[in-house]
Amino acid sequence: MSFWKRLFSNSDAFSTDHNKNLEGELLTYYTASRGSGQSPGRPVNERRIVLSTDPDIDLYDLEELCDRVGWARRPLRKVRKAIRYSFLVVSMWEVRGKRRRLIGFARATSDRAFNATIWDVAIDPDFQNQGLGKALMKYAIEKLRAEDISNITLFADPQVVNFYRRLGFMVDPEGIKGMFWYPD
């Protein structure tokens, strides 16, 4: 059964339930921060925010999200490869009835034992400042911790350092510096 069929066939997909399906995909459902009066048995056309670890993402949806946050375009074939070789891919969707819209994304690369690095964190501007970036990051961290990965790093643009600080990330812990090498 496809991801979305599983999603819509799940009758208790509300609040912050965790539903482990047969393929081991963990989905977390958040009630929309702009919604109200949530109760079990709501109609499926109600607006919901859904988190997924399904790496099978439409690259054009992702490109549109990256455009919307103002990132430079990257060749899709390289984006596809980056996703394929990522350890964790987290996407966030707004779901209204049968319509879905990609509104958030993050991925992590990892040695699968000690270290993971989070990349490409983005929330659609229409959905920013509602706690969704925090929810996306907490979900990604939870998934990495579930794999017993304890060293989680990322590279923060200067304007978002405090966003990550609020999530517990430290700048230059014990004086350690991130270093970069670029081709000439």
Question: Binding ligand COA by CB under 6 A: which of 59, 160, 171, 176?
Answer: 160
Q: With CB under 6 A as the contact rule, which of the stretches 34-42, 95-103, 116-124, 176-184 interacts with ligand COA? A: 116-124
- Reading the block at residue 78, the tokens are 């390289």
Q: Is 34 in the site for ligand COA (CB under 6 A)?
A: no
Q: What angle do CA 110, 112, 113 make, to 5 degrees?
A: 115
In the complex, minimum distance from the CB of residue 174 to ligand COA, in angstroms, rounded to a whole number? 22
In the complex, minimum distance from the CB of residue 135 to ligand COA, in angstroms, rounded to a whole number? 7
From 30, 139, 164, 182, active-site residue? 164
- Within 40-69, the residues that bind ligand COA by CB under 6 A are 69
In the complex, minimum distance from the CB of residue 101 to ligand COA, in angstroms, rounded to a whole number? 15
Residue written as token pair 């074939």? 77
Query: Which residues, 6 or more positions from 68, have their beta carbon under 8 angstroms from its beta carbon?
Result: 124, 125
Say which amino acid occupies 1.
Answer: M
Question: Judged by CB, which is closer to ligand COA: 20, or 177?
Answer: 177
- Reading the block at residue 103, the tokens are 């509104």
164 annotated active-site: yes
Q: Give me the DSSP letters along 85-104.
A: T-SEEEEEEEEETTEEEEEE
Q: Is 32 in the site for ligand COA (CB under 6 A)?
A: no
Q: Helices (DSSP H) in the chain: which residue ranges?
A: 3-9, 59-68, 76-84, 132-146, 161-166
> Residue numbers of the site for ligand COA (CB under 6 A)?
69, 121-123, 128-134, 156-157, 159-160, 162-163, 166
Active-site positions read 164
